């Protein structure tokens, strides 16, 4: 495995079936990586706000137990631990598995040592941070 960056436009991505044969296909692959990395940042923001998203869905569904819990003021809620629920844990596990899979696929793209793929992943992370970073900023600054 080469340990130097290359600028080849025919570097396979994930499988030999996905080998760009033209400049347009290479550009399309780079655009895919940008969108994929931005989706990774979107998934991280979903994970970061998972409890709030789940609570909003329970409110819409009419789950009184969750709504009563949410009605407590923030100081009480921050000192109380939420009860463990199997459904929530499974959903959270699914989100974590998807985030892990996406992050490993991005790592494989970077490990091709192709400059275009590497810069596309970095560009996608930047685009995703600009687009979705404000969903994580207040909480991450507080911790």
Asked if the structure places residue 20 within a domain, the reply is no
Asked if the structure places residue 25 within a domain, the reply is no
Domain range for 74: 33-142
Asked if the structure places residue 114 within a domain, the reply is yes
Asked if the structure places residue 45 within a domain, the reply is yes
Q: Does pLDDT of 18 surpass 70?
A: yes
Asked if the structure places residue 19 within a domain, the reply is no
Quick: pLDDT tens for 53-71.
887 777 776 655 554 455 4
> Which contacts qualify for 19-28: CB closer than 8 Å, 24 or more apart?
26/116
pTM of the model: 0.78
Burial per residue of 112-133, b for 16 or more beta-carbon CB atoms within 10 angstroms, e otherwise: bebebbbebbebbbeebbeebe
Asked if the structure places residue 26 within a domain, the reply is no
- Collapsing DSSP states into helix, strand and coil, what is residue 15? strand
Asked if the structure places residue 54 within a domain, the reply is yes
Asked if the structure places residue 2 within a domain, the reply is no
Name the domain count of the chain: 1
């Amino acid at each position: 495995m080469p340990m130097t960056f290359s600028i080849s436009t025919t570097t396979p991505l994930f499988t030999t079936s996905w080998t760009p044969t033209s400049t347009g296909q290479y550009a399309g692959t780079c655009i895919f990586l940008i969108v994929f990395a931005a989706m990774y940042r979107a998934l991280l923001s979903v994970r970061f706000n998972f409890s709030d998203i789940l609570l909003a869905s329970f409110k819409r569904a009419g789950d009184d137990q969750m709504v009563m819990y949410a009605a407590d003021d923030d100081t009480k809620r921050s000192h109380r631990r939420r009860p463990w629920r199997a459904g929530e844990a499974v959903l959270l596990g699914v989100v974590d598995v998807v985030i892990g899979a996406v992050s490993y696929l991005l790592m494989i793209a970077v490990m091709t040592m192709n400059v275009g793929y590497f810069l596309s992943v970095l560009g996608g992370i930047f685009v995703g941070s600009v687009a979705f970073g404000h969903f994580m900023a207040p909480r991450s600054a507080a911790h």
